[in-house]
A and B are shown apart, each in its own frame.
Chain A
Amino acid sequence: MSHFFRLIHNENVKIYKRMGTWVMIGILVLVVALVGAFTKFVLDPGSNADWKSQLTAENAQLTESLETAPMLEAQKRLLKERIALNEYRVEHDLAPMERDSLWGYMVDATTFTGIAALFTIVIAAGMVASEFSWGTVKLLLIRPVSRTKVLLAKYASTLLFAVLMLVLLFSTSFLFGMIFFGFTGAETPYLSYSNGRVVQQNMVTHIIELFGFRSIDLIMMVTLAFMISTVFRSSSLAIGISLFLMFTGPQIVQLLSQYDWVKYILFANTDLQQYTTGTPLVEGMTMTFSIVMLLIYFGLFAFLSLFIFNKRDVAA
């Protein structure tokens, strides 16, 4: 096994030999199961029998507001897409997905990436700060391994934990979806609008795509927490700031969206779905712009962590 893999192995031992990690994993599974049960036994799904007339009515209303209400170009485009999708459903006899179905539930479950993010932030926040508070950093850093390598191994292990959380989320939501709702409607396609027409897409691909979009936010917040943990050596500060920003950041940029400079704020760029199925926060923002902004922020966090960790006098 290569040296770097052994370092990652070390970090993994430190993550998974602690009780707290398993409590978090347990909570994630439990939440997926409970929400599944809640959807099945408590929520009233309502009758979906006359979905065709519902969609037709919705389209009539959308068409009207499209003509009368003043709105931005992007919003208009969105409404048009929606109308096209609804028409496609009615024409091809494809009922909208229901929440109490396997796929519907799995799509809902993608929002639990927020919980995965929360737990990964907790892990990330402890990666460096705990070594200082335990005092073990003094033994960790007098090994024939550069500080850069130690830090990279820690970061890689944090990302591995994030991947574990996402895989766990995907597989448990599939498992409980099967248990509660059965494997019905497996062939239901996901409809999306691309290049001016409606296309059918495989549902599993769509769900994985959703996970993908949500992971971007997760990775950025985890990297932020990791950086704060490295720079300030305080896990509570890292958890506090990251969670606060994760929950309020998107609201703040929404509030300030009339200003053009908002587009340079991290949280204006973490949701890439705004370019596929939504409207960009500030007119003129593009997917490329956001990806470049994300890379710049990522580079900044990485640089700060590495720079400070390499420079610091260890006097814990």
Chain B
Amino acid sequence: MKKPIVEIKNLKKVIGDKTIIHGISMDVFPGEVFGFLGPNGAGKTTTIRMMVGLMGITEGEVLINGFSIEKNFEKAISHVGGIIENPEMYKFLSGYDNLLQYARMLPDPVKKERIDEIVKLVGLEKRIHEKVKGYSLGMRQRLGLAQALLHSPALLILDEPTNGLDPAGIREIRTYIRKIAHEEGIAVFVSSHMLSEMQLMCDRIGIIQDGHLVSVETVGDFVGEKVNTVLEIEPIEKAREFVEQTFPELNPKVNGAKLFVSASREKVPSLVKVLAENEFEIYQVSSENSTLEEKFLEMTEGTK
């Protein structure tokens, strides 16, 4: 297994007498998109702020490439590029001058060619010399991405990068994130409260709820295994009994005029075949993935 780029160990944050983060531990590996999912106020931004040294750590530690963000800040942060909440830039400067600001702060300033390359990569080459004041949110988001990638970090941290973007913008960011992670081996740590989106973008997802890390799973595990199948079938009570006897693990239930079974995807065709052979009349079969959303709601509602 690869060495993790980020190791978070029992991270806690207490502000005043309020515990906001209750001991989170997780690792992020090179080349993966790690989703950090949770409803508003769950503690995503607070966790990220501790990861990049903007906030002090009450207990526990964050190691980036083996360096502690608290004890060895400059070494640790030099591997990180990030956008924390909205990408706020100097509005009275051009996009290019903003990038120059961050370029000058590096111990070894990046070359002009690298800046031009990044500008092209995020597709801002036409407007980069205009003042940021006139940029749309999408353009600012792209400029934010450019400043985060300028120094070729090993870890990209994005806090709700799709907030406020239109669907096209969201898709663009999503494609881009997957590309840099999988092609360039950068680890991407991305937070969101939008479940559907995370499902499309991430390899692994950690769910945070009220400052607790509820679960960390790969997206495949999340969505692949369970399929809810709904059958419009007659006679319905008989069908339920039949399924109960032949496939007790499917846990059939009747709700109104519909029969619900929870079958794995591979199971569906054989189920339908057996039912048809036994003279049941099937009007409609629909299966839906148990989405992350359901799983997420299931998990988070339990704790409320």
Contact = CB atoms under 8 A, between A and B. Distances in A.
Interface string B218-249: 00000000000000000000000000000000
A9 interface: yes
A18 B92 contact: yes
Interface residues of B, number: 35
B101 A10 contact: yes
B188 to A, nearest CB: 16
B104 interface: yes
Interface of B: 15, 49, 52-56, 73-75, 77-78, 80, 82-93, 97, 100-102, 104-107, 109, 147
Nearest to A139: B147
Nearest to B157: A142
Interface stretch (A99-107, A191-199, A308-316): A308-316
Given A17-B97, A314-B49, A136 B102 contact: no
A234 B88 CA distance: 18
Contacts of A314: 49, 54-55
Contacts of B106: 143-144
Given A6-B105, A143-B77, A136 B54 contact: no
A13 B104 CA distance: 12
A211 to B, nearest CB: 31
22 contacts: A6-B104, A6-B105, A7-B105, A13-B100, A14-B90, A14-B93, A136-B89, A139-B102, A139-B147, A141-B54, A142-B52, A142-B77, A142-B80, A142-B82, A144-B74, A144-B105, A145-B105, A146-B74, A311-B56, A313-B55, A314-B54, A315-B49
B53 A141 contact: yes
Nearest to A9: B104
Interface of A: 3, 6-7, 9-10, 13-14, 17-19, 134-136, 138-139, 141-146, 311, 313-315
A306 B107 CA distance: 22
Contacts of A138: 54, 84-85, 88
B90 A144 contact: no
A7 B101 CA distance: 8
Nearest to B108: A3
B105 A143 contact: yes
A17 B55 contact: no
Contacts of A10: 101, 104-105
Contacts of B85: 135, 138
B6 to A, nearest CB: 14
A18 B91 CA distance: 10
Contacts of B89: 136, 139
A15 to B, nearest CB: 11
Give the residue among B73, B82, B84, B101 with the most A Cβ atoms within 10 A.
B101
A17 B93 contact: yes
Given A134-B90, A314-B54, A315-B49, A142 B107 contact: no
Contact of A134 (B55, B74, B75, B88): B88
A7 B107 CA distance: 11
Nearest to B54: A314
Contact of A136 (B15, B88, B105): B88
A139 B87 contact: yes
Contacts of B147: 139
Contacts of B101: 10, 13-14
Q: Which 4 A-B pairs have the closest CB atoms?
A: A135-B88, A144-B78, A314-B54, A6-B104
Given A13-B97, A314-B49, A146 B55 contact: no
Contacts of A18: 92
Given A14-B90, A136-B88, A315 B53 contact: no
A7 B104 CA distance: 7
A139 B77 CA distance: 12
Contacts of B102: 139, 143
Nearest to A6: B104
A314 B85 CA distance: 12
Nearest to A143: B105
B53 A13 contact: no
Contacts of B100: 13
B90 A136 contact: yes
A142 B53 contact: yes
A3 B49 contact: no
Nearest to B82: A142
Contact of A3 (B54, B75, B97, B107): B107
A314 B101 CA distance: 20
A309 B288 CA distance: 53
Given A13-B93, A13-B100, 12 more contacts: A7-B104, A10-B104, A134-B90, A136-B88, A138-B84, A138-B88, A139-B84, A142-B84, A143-B102, A313-B15, A315-B49, A315-B55
Contacts of B75: 144
B25 to A, nearest CB: 22
Nearest to B56: A313
Contacts of A6: 104-105, 109
A135 B53 contact: no
Contacts of A17: 92-93, 97
A138 B55 CA distance: 10
Contacts of A139: 83-84, 87-89, 102, 147
A141 B80 CA distance: 12
A9 B105 CA distance: 10
Contacts of A145: 74, 105
A25 B68 CA distance: 45
Contacts of A13: 93, 97, 100-101
A9 B104 CA distance: 8
Nearest to A18: B92
A313 B109 CA distance: 28
B75 to A, nearest CB: 8
